[in-house]
Amino acid sequence: MASAGTRLRRAVVSVPFLFIAAFCLHIMDPSTIVAFQQPFADSGVIEWDGGKIPIIDNFHGIYFLDNIFRGGMATFSASTFGYDPVAWWQIFSFLTDLGPVYAIWILESYRVGYAYTPAYL
């Protein structure tokens, strides 16, 4: 198990990344995202030139979660269904860039020094 000093040093080094994440969250434009998803979420159907698909109203069985993910499905439909080639390429690039990060995180979480810490869990 890592000493308290080592853990504190690692926590201090990670603070700039937390600030970067908070800054990114702040500069996102949620009003544009909501404006894009609203017509799909209101109608209950995602339509594009090549087809249409209904949004499932009671997927989780929990009203709060169903409302949250209903908008998310409408927001990310352009990239997941592929009717917008730019959005599809961006999500593909994002996932391929994120894969190594997940792999490192998984491998690092199995180190003995991280036993029963947030990284491990």
**Each residue's pLDDT tens digit, 4-25:** 888 888 889 999 999 999 898 8
The residue ranges of DSSP E strands in the chain, in sequence order, are: 45-48, 51-54
pTM of the shown model: 0.52
As a whole number of angstroms, the distance between CA 112 and CA 56 comes to: 43
Domain boundaries, the chain: 4-114
**Each residue's pLDDT tens digit, 65-112:** 888 788 788 888 888 888 888 888 888 888 888 888 888 888 877 777
Q: Are 59 and 71 in contact (CB under 8 A)?
A: no
